[in-house]
Structure 1
Amino acid sequence: MRGLVAAAAVVLMSLTACSTGPAGGGSEGGQSAAATDQFPVTVEHAFGETVIEEQPERVATVSWVNSDVALALGVVPVGMPKEDWGGNENGSTPWRDAKLEELGAAIGSENAPTQYSEVDGIAFDEVAELAPDVILAAYSGLTQEDYDTLSKIAPVIAYPETPYGTDWQDSTRMIGQALGLSQQAEDLVAQTEQTIVAKASEYPQLAGKSFIYGNLEPAKGDGVNVYTANDNRPKFLTSIGMVQADVVTEATKDSAEFFIPWSAEKANELASDVFVTWVPDDKTAQQITTDPLLGQIPAIKDDALVADSDNTLTLSISAASPLSLPWALDTFLPMLGKAADAADAAK
């Protein structure tokens, strides 16, 4: 079920601009940017390929990221999931709310997309009721059964290779292709990357710093998980000039998973300049530093731990999109910079 697997994907973290067409919205129809590609188009993915015969007018999304990308391309979905983890009172996020308002489809307005919960898995019935022309799942954890069920509703754009492993650039390009907006997608990727590089340049101490992005739970022998290079979190840190720690690269070089478990008994082997994790509260962050096993992690001993207790911030990096990353930079980069400074001071 997406609710459980998705919770693992985010809480294991605990445990990524176009002119618009006529407004529709809600169950009456979405708002779409004018296509610049010729149809039909064929999109390849993990379950084969999907042919889109003509520009979709009614777009539905499942999982994370996909609705953000559609909105960033100027397309308002007729339906999209609520953010049940890390979301606000609208079942949304600050970056998504801002874009929806810009596009005249704010939550609560008559043009707003229909929202459905995915706590218990993909909302097949709710999606079907919207009669979409395409279902976007470029970033998702679809199973073959999920894909087959959704394909009976509308053509589906699934992930290219690994469940929950699509980087935001590939999600943007795949969705852009499906919507007939390939050039707009390329422009959006370039613009977002430029924003990230420009902001990261304000923190030169990050360049070349080794990192481990993982999940730490004090007082648990199995309370350590480490994210692999397949995951969006390490991908983001790499994009700002940091380098994944050798110990993780070596341990995960043959892994297709987005994380691997790590014994707390071997926590002292997790050597890096900076360690990044999610915590439910500041108390847990303190417990990590004093835990007899986790406290032996070199970055923690050097006071170079980034312990994020803001679910929304965590979501913005783990489910990275062209909307979420620019929103996150002003908060997340200073936290990383402070840890990098501590790592330098400890040398």
Structure 2
Amino acid sequence: MTLSRRSLVLSALAVPALASCSGAVGGDTDSTDGGGAGDGTFPVTVSHIYGETEIEAEPTRIVTVSWVNADTLLALDIVPAGMPTVTWGGNDNGSTDWIDAKLEELGAGWDADGAPTQYDESDGVNYDEMAALTPDLIVAAYSGLTEEEYGQLSKIAPTIGPLAPNYTASWDEVLSAVGQATGRADEASELASSITADLAAVGEENPAVAGATFIAGTLGLADSSISLYVGEDTRPRFFTALGMTQADVITENTEDADNFFLEWSAERADELDSDIFYTWAEAGSTVEDFQANDLFAQIPAVSGGGVVLTDDDHLTLSISAANALSLPWALENFVPTVVEVAQSVRG
């Protein structure tokens, strides 16, 4: 198996060279050791699906909603004052390995005084705990926030609402918006270009990947159900960024889709023709489990050994809620499997 040298040497991406604009530990510039401010000019205006949000001055206490948004701040060396606990796919810290590594790098690990405050969003937006942190900016750029919820948050602090509905904002759009809002637009642009180049290099240096067609979905072993990720979902975006091409059967059946997934009849499984089929799976699941399912075995990629699994929630989260901090981790921990499977089915 060959992988891009750039894709393998990921520490440089996981620890981007942005020290000169290092942000606030705990979201408070007075508490960081030499943390400089961003070099942007304020006020700035950030557009989102619920309108525009004007940010008068560089924010120093930022809290976030949902996935991705805290990760994106951290990717720009900004430690949020508060962030949601990761309740699905997280580690023992209610966080992720990529978040933990970045917090340690910034001197704000979970045992440090400057660590972010975590709050639970299992029952919805946690207005009270967010308000108690007295933020000067709330970031919900990647979220399913409703307009009513956006209005409630805006009473607490200026709020960047979803850039696109239903968790469909792309990681680079979110990075750009956060960079603009925090005075780090140049750094955000440089980081986006670097990550994009590393993703593309996988296909550039692995012809089996670049020539492969893919379908991203979930095959439910318990009930033989088939769900497909389509449109602006993060998973198709991820595989496309590697140089792969979404299978024609998906493109042709989702031209008018306004959601990020669709249910597919298992009786039509044989129509799902592609080189690679990506699916999330329960821990301990194997490719053989899917091949043993009579309906799934009709999918060409399943019968032909082209299944790519993420059978670990943490691994699944790295691409299903892809962001500027998780993608370098996914390149190191997931992409080698993609390359290996592509080479096995395409030579």
Q: TM-score, normalised by structure 1?
A: 0.89
1:41 maps to 44
- What code does the residue aligned with 2:323 have? S
User: What's the RMSD between the two structures over aligned residues?
Assistant: 2.0
1:338 maps to 340
1:79 Cα deviation after fit: 0.1
CA contact (8 A) 2:231 2:259 kept: no
1:34 Cα deviation after fit: 1.5
Is residue 185 of structure 2 the alignment partner of residue 182 of structure 1? yes
Instruction: Provide the rounded CA distance (Å) in 1 between the counterparts of 2:286 and 2:154.
Output: 43
CA contact (8 A) 2:26 2:116 kept: yes
- Tell which deviates more after alignment, 278-287 or 77-86: 278-287
Q: For residues 1-347 of structure 1, what are the structure 2 equivalents within 5 Å?
A: 17-20=18-21, 24-25=25-26, 33-220=36-223, 223-283=225-285, 285-344=287-346
CA contact (8 A) 1:33 1:74 kept: no
CA contact (8 A) 1:69 1:172 kept: yes
Deviation track 1:281-324 (CA, whole Å, cap 9, x = no partner) reads 23464332211111111100101111210111111111111111
The structure-2 alpha-carbon separation of the partners of 1:21 and 1:304, relative to structure 1 and needing over 3 Å to count, comes to: closer
Instruction: Provide the rounded CA distance (Å) in 2 between the counterparts of 1:219 and 1:89.
Output: 27
CA contact (8 A) 1:217 1:288 kept: no
Deviation track 1:228-275 (CA, whole Å, cap 9, x = no partner) reads 131111101101100001111111111121111111111111111100
Instruction: Provide the rounded CA distance (Å) in 2 between the counterparts of 1:316 and 1:104.
Output: 23
Deviation track 1:108-154 (CA, whole Å, cap 9, x = no partner) reads 21110001122222211111111111111111110111111111111
CA contact (8 A) 2:23 2:76 kept: no
Instruction: Provide the rounded CA distance (Å) in 1 between the counterparts of 2:200 and 2:234.
Output: 16
- What code does the residue aligned with 2:237 have? K
- What code does the residue aligned with 1:343 have? V
CA contact (8 A) 2:203 2:244 kept: no
> Secondary structure of 1:25's partner?
helix
- What code does the residue aligned with 2:281 have? V
Deviation track 1:144-176 (CA, whole Å, cap 9, x = no partner) reads 111111111111112222220011100000111
CA contact (8 A) 2:21 2:38 kept: no
CA contact (8 A) 1:33 1:75 kept: no
> Secondary structure of 1:235's partner?
helix
CA contact (8 A) 1:29 1:78 kept: no
Instruction: Provide the rounded CA distance (Å) in 1 between the counterparts of 2:94 and 2:48.
Output: 29
1:219 Cα deviation after fit: 4.9
**Mind listing any 5+ residue stretches in structure 2 that lack a counterpart?**
1-17
CA contact (8 A) 1:81 1:117 kept: yes
- What code does the residue aligned with 1:188 have? L
CA contact (8 A) 1:210 1:273 kept: yes
Instruction: Provide the rounded CA distance (Å) in 1 between the counterparts of 2:202 and 2:272.
Output: 28
The structure-2 alpha-carbon separation of the partners of 1:247 and 1:177, relative to structure 1 and needing over 3 Å to count, comes to: same
CA contact (8 A) 1:26 1:110 kept: no
- What code does the residue aligned with 2:165 have? T
- What code does the residue aligned with 1:294 have? F
Instruction: Provide the rounded CA distance (Å) in 2 between the counterparts of 1:343 and 1:261.
Output: 26
- What code does the residue aligned with 2:280 have? W
Instruction: Provide the rounded CA distance (Å) in 1 between the counterparts of 2:322 and 2:268.
Output: 30
Identity of aligned residues (%): 48
1:338 Cα deviation after fit: 2.4
1:24 Cα deviation after fit: 4.7
CA contact (8 A) 1:30 1:78 kept: no
Instruction: Provide the rounded CA distance (Å) in 1 between the counterparts of 2:177 and 2:326.
Output: 18
- What code does the residue aligned with 1:51 have? E
Instruction: Provide the rounded CA distance (Å) in 2 between the counterparts of 1:23 and 1:257.
Output: 37
1:196 Cα deviation after fit: 2.2
How many matched pairs? Answer: 328
Instruction: Provide the rounded CA distance (Å) in 1 between the counterparts of 2:23 and 2:304.
Output: 56
CA contact (8 A) 1:18 1:184 kept: no
Instruction: Provide the rounded CA distance (Å) in 2 between the counterparts of 1:154 and 1:181.
Output: 20
CA contact (8 A) 1:139 1:166 kept: yes
- What code does the residue aligned with 1:103 have? L
CA contact (8 A) 2:23 2:78 kept: no
> Secondary structure of 2:308's partner?
strand
The structure-2 alpha-carbon separation of the partners of 1:40 and 1:280, relative to structure 1 and needing over 3 Å to count, comes to: same
Instruction: Provide the rounded CA distance (Å) in 1 between the counterparts of 2:36 and 2:289.
Output: 49
